[in-house]
Amino acid sequence: MSTQENEALNEETSTNSESTNEQAVSQDEKEVKIAELELKLTEANDKYLRIYSEFDNFRKRTAKEKIELINTAGEDIFKSILPVIDDFERAIKSNAETADIKAVNDGVMLIYNKLKSTLVAKGLQEMNSQGQTFDADIHEAITNIPAPSDDLKGKVVDELEKGYSLNGKIIRFAKVVIGQ
């Protein structure tokens, strides 16, 4: 073999060796990159699971609070009506011993006014329907009767049951008789 052939062979081996080294370095870089990406994926999955768990706990907690709120929604109203019940009990006890009907009537009227003012303070409003034009949105027609006068045609002649609204929302329609 000539010197030139030896040099060419050495050069070729050197090139192959460098190529193999570059492939090895490139392969190591790929493995490092894959390991980094797998770590990021694991972190993202862990973060997702934590957020999902937090949201699920939040949803359960708010559902529980909503149920508790529904169960105790009327507590404030009942607490404000309890003194009226106490007054009724005292009146019943007093009525058993009293023969004066006027005192009994006055006592009942006091209790009625106390109950009514308590409910008004909580947002209950009485609807006045007598003599108003019939409105199906707030009235429930029970029957029609001949109007006593022409100006009462299509209007409420009699109110059988009062209507009530609570903070602007109708909770009971007024049951009325309409003039024809």
**Angstrom distance (rounded) from CA 111 to CA 96:** 17
Q: Does the predicted model carry a pTM greater than 0.75?
A: no
Query: Torsion angle of alpha carbons 30, 31, 34, 38, nearest 10°?
Result: -170
Q: Could you state, in order of their start, the residue ranges of all structural domains in the chain?
A: 1-73, 74-122, 125-180
**Contact criterion met (CB below 8 Å) for 140 and 164:** no
Candidates 1.10.150.130, 2.40.220.10, 2.40.50.100, 2.30.22.10; CATH matching 125-180: 2.30.22.10
Residue 179 Cα to chain centre, angstroms: 42
pLDDT per residue as tens digits for the range 66-125: 998 888 878 888 888 999 999 999 888 888 888 888 988 898 999 999 999 999 998 999
pLDDT per residue as tens digits for the range 113-166: 999 999 999 899 999 999 899 999 999 999 999 988 888 888 999 999 999 999
